[in-house]
Structure 1
Amino acid sequence: MLTTSTVARAGLDAIALKPAECDLSAAASIPVETIAIDYEGRDHLPSHETLTALADDTAVLLTTPVRVDGFDPLGDDSLVDELPDAVGRVLVAGHGAYLTDEERERSIAPRLDAALETDPDAWVGTESVERLAMATGATQYELLARRTAAELQALRAVGFEGEIALYAPTVLTDDEDTVLDAVGDYVSRRRPVARALPEDAATDASATGRAREVLLKAARDYALIGDADEICEQTDMLHEAGATTIVGYPAQGLEPFLE
C-alpha cells in the first residue's frame, strides 16, 4: 500500500519519468508502486545499474519502441537482452523524433505481435496505433484526452474487460503561469488544440489573449490539474469510468511529488 503522500492523495497508481529531464535515482524516494520510464533516444536510455536499483523496491516499466534498432523483435533486439529481468516493458510504435528514416518505414503490427510473444505482460502504447494496440489484447496505455472518460465507459459497456492504463501529465497547482510552463507546449501539440491556436502563439506562461484561453482550457482536457485533493476527484472519475491504472507524469518536475 502507498503511504499518505501527495501521490497517494492524488489517486495516482504510478508515475512516468523522462530520463532526459530528471535524475531517475530520485524516483526511489517517491512512494509509488509502479514507475514507467519514457524513451527519449538511446543517449538517455537508463543504465542496467539504474534500472536494477529502481526495480528493487518498485515495479519498473521501460518504454521500448519496436521499430528502433536494439528493440526491434524482427531485427536487432540486442538492447532487450541487456534489460534487467525485473524490468517490464511498454511497447510503442515510437515517436518520430527518436527514429531514423529507415526505422520510421518499418511495419508496426508484426513487431508488436512478435514482441508480445516474448513478453506477454508488456503494455502497448496506443498513440497513433489505437486499433493495432487494441487487437493485441495487451494492457492499453493511452494518453489522457478530452473524451477519455466517455470512451472508457463505452468500452466497458460493450464488455471490454482488458486493462487500460492512462498517461496523464500532472500539475499540482492551479496557478495559471505554472500550468502553462508545465504543459502548455504539450497540449499545444494535440491536434484540436493546434487547430484552435493563433499562428505562432506562445505556449508557455507568456501566452496571452485567445492563445492563453485555449491552452488553459486544453490543459484540463489533456492533463490533471490542481492540488492533490482536486486531482483525486479527477482520478476517481477516471477509475470509475474504467481506467485500471493512472500514470501521472510530473510535468513540474519531481519535487512536488516528493512531499
Structure 2
Amino acid sequence: MTALTGATLAEAGIDAVALKPAEMEVARGTELSVSTLTVDYEGREHVPDPETLREMAADHEVRVTAPVRADGYDPRGDDSLLRAVPDTVGLVVVAGNPAYLDSRETTRAIAPRLGEVVSRAADPWVGTERVERLALAAGGTQYELLTGATEHDIRGLRAAGFSGDVAVYAPTVLTGNEDAVLDAIGAYAARRSAVRSALPTGAATDSTATGEAREILLDGCREFALYGSVDEVAARVQALREAGVDRVVGYPARGLDPFLD
C-alpha cells in the first residue's frame, strides 16, 4: 500500500492538511510536508491549547475552526476560546456542525455572528456548508466541501466574476483497495444526503458492505473524497485547480501515520 508522504503529498497536489483533534495529536501535523494545517472543531474538550497552536504556527500556516454559534466562539456571548487564539494563528469561520453543538447553540442566528467573526479576523477562510450565500456575502477564502458538483460550481463562480480564493476540503485515502477505502471514508460518504437516501435501510457503511450498498458507497466516496493512486488523486486535484480552486485540503481519513511513514 502506497503512503501519502513527503514528495507524494506534492505529487498528489495536496497543499494543506486538515487535523481532527479528537482522532490525532495535532502537533504531529507539523511533521507533514505541507505549509498549511487546519484544525477542525470537535467540541470544547478537544480544542488544542493556545501554546500548542503557537508552537505549530512557528513554521506553518495554522488555522483553527471557529464555529460561531458555539460557546467560546460566539461574538455575541461567550467568545473566550476565540479571544484565546494566538495572533499567529488564522481562523476558519463556520456556522458549526450541529453534531458538536447543543440545543441552545443550534438556535443562535448564524448570519450576524458569521459576519462579526469574519470582520475580526485577518484573512479568514469561511466555511460554506449549508450557508453558501452567507459565506459569499461575508467574504474571505471560500472553504468548500468536495462534491461531484464542485468543479461545475466553481467554474460558475469564476464566470460570474468571483476573484477571491477558494479552498476545497476532501477526505483523502491514497489507495485503490476498496475495503480500505470503505473502512476509512464509507461512513463519511454515507452521511451525505444523496448517498444516505440511496442506501438500503440498515446497510453497512464499511468494508462489510455488499451488493448495491457497496456500489452506492463507492460511488459516494468518489464524489465526496479523494482516493486512489498518487496519479489518480493528482488528476482529480488538477481538474479542481483548472476549475478555479486555489487550495486542496486533504483530511487524512486513516490517521496521520499513513501520511508520515
**Structure-2-length-normalised TM-score:** 0.96
CA offset digits 1:87-142 (Å, max 9, x no partner): 10111111112111111110000001111221141111111111111111211111
Residue of structure 2 equivalent to 1:100: 102
Residue of structure 2 equivalent to 1:130: 132
Residue of structure 2 equivalent to 1:185: 187
- How many Å separate the matches in 1 of 2:15 and 2:245? 11
Out of 57, 60, 63, the residue aligned to residue 58 of structure 1 is: 60
User: Structure 1 residue 67: deviation in Å?
Assistant: 0.6
User: Structure 1 residue 4: deviation in Å?
Assistant: 5.4
Residue of structure 2 equivalent to 1:70: 72
Residue 250 of structure 2: SS of its match in structure 1? Answer: strand
Partner amino acid, structure 1, of 2:82: V
Out of 224, 227, 249, the residue aligned to residue 226 of structure 2 is: 224
User: Structure 1 residue 217: deviation in Å?
Assistant: 1.1
Distance 1:84 1:120, change over 3 A: closer
User: Structure 1 residue 25: deviation in Å?
Assistant: 2.0
Instruction: Report matched runs for 1:192-211 at 5 Å.
Output: 192-211=194-213
- How many Å separate the matches in 1 of 2:134 and 2:126? 9
Residue of structure 2 equivalent to 1:116: 118
User: Structure 1 residue 256: deviation in Å?
Assistant: 2.0
CA offset digits 1:124-183 (Å, max 9, x no partner): 111111111111121111100011111111111121111111000001100000000010
- How many Å separate the matches in 1 of 2:218 and 2:120? 43
**Structure-1-length-normalised TM-score:** 0.96
Q: Is the 8 A contact 2:126 2:139 kept in 1?
A: no
Partner amino acid, structure 2, of 1:126: T
- How many Å separate the matches in 1 of 2:181 and 2:73? 35
Residue of structure 2 equivalent to 1:84: 86
Residue of structure 1 equivalent to 2:19: 17
Residue of structure 1 equivalent to 2:216: 214
User: Structure 1 residue 6: deviation in Å?
Assistant: 2.1
Q: Is the 8 A contact 1:120 1:138 kept in 2?
A: no
Residue 170 of structure 1: SS of its match in structure 2? Answer: strand
CA RMSD of aligned residues (A): 1.2
Residue of structure 1 equivalent to 2:158: 156
5+ residue gaps, structure 1, are none
Q: Is the 8 A contact 2:90 2:122 kept in 1?
A: no
Q: Is the 8 A contact 1:59 1:87 kept in 2?
A: yes
5+ residue gaps, structure 2, are none
Partner amino acid, structure 1, of 2:176: D
- How many Å separate the matches in 2 of 1:254 and 1:57? 18
Partner amino acid, structure 1, of 2:69: R
- How many Å separate the matches in 1 of 2:197 and 2:82? 39
- How many Å separate the matches in 2 of 1:8 and 1:46? 27
User: Structure 1 residue 50: deviation in Å?
Assistant: 1.3
- How many Å separate the matches in 1 of 2:6 and 2:186? 30
Residue of structure 2 equivalent to 1:233: 235
Out of 236, 252, 255, the residue aligned to residue 253 of structure 1 is: 255
Residue 173 of structure 1: SS of its match in structure 2? Answer: coil
Residue 62 of structure 2: SS of its match in structure 1? Answer: strand
Partner amino acid, structure 1, of 2:38: A
- How many Å separate the matches in 2 of 1:6 and 1:52? 27
CA offset digits 1:209-246 (Å, max 9, x no partner): 10001001111110001122221111111001010111
